[in-house]
Amino acid sequence: MNKAEKDAKISEDVKKLKQLADVLNKYNLSAVELLDDTKKYRVEKGANKNNGSDNTTLEQKELCTIMSPMVGVFYDTEYMNKGNIVKEGQKFKKGDTLCVLEAMKTFTEIQAKEDGEITEVCAKNGDIIEYSQPLFKYSKI
């Protein structure tokens, strides 16, 4: 990506954040959040800790997707009769097991490649998963 493309992308992000700030002020809200396919935009109004006046803060979190490395059956538990390995809103660390895929009686643990927080579980227990199908969406932490 060249400099002009990066600048255009940043300009688009700033434009979205400004639009959210306008909605925040127009409807006297404390926070507004927009989630698109790859990014999360959030504008929040809060008290400034230094002087106590209103302050609008802008936050942008990039969403990432964990794709299936193989075809198989999705399991959100390591063993039968146990709860889910991960749930929406749960934080995980690099190397943590997120789910198990089973193909031809072989169980493969899908592990995190970096730290993050689950924002969406894209498959249900027992679903047949295709290669490169989204399993989880997460934000980096």
* Whether residue 134 sits in one domain with residue 72: yes
* Whether residue 72 sits in one domain with residue 129: yes
Q: How confident is the model at residue 54, as a pLDDT?
A: 47
* Whether residue 35 sits in one domain with residue 82: no
Decide the pairing of beta strands 116-121 and 97-103. Answer: unpaired
Structural domain that includes position 56:
3-63
Q: Considering the chain, what percentage of its residues have pLDDT values greater than 70?
A: 81
CA dist 17 and 25 (Å) reads 12
| Per-residue model confidence as pLDDT tens digits over 56-109 | 454 556 688 999 999 999 998 866 556 778 889 999 999 999 999 999 999 999
pTM for the model: 0.56
| Per-residue model confidence as pLDDT tens digits over 9-21 | 777 877 888 887 8
* Whether residue 97 sits in one domain with residue 41: no
Q: Exposed (0-12), middle (13-18) or buried (19+): which is 76, by Cβ within 10 Å?
A: buried
* Whether residue 19 sits in one domain with residue 51: yes
User: What DSSP character marks residue 95?
Assistant: T
* Whether residue 132 sits in one domain with residue 94: yes
Mean pLDDT for the chain overall = 81
Residue 61 CA to chain centroid, in angstroms? 8
Q: How confident is the model at residue 77, as a pLDDT?
A: 80
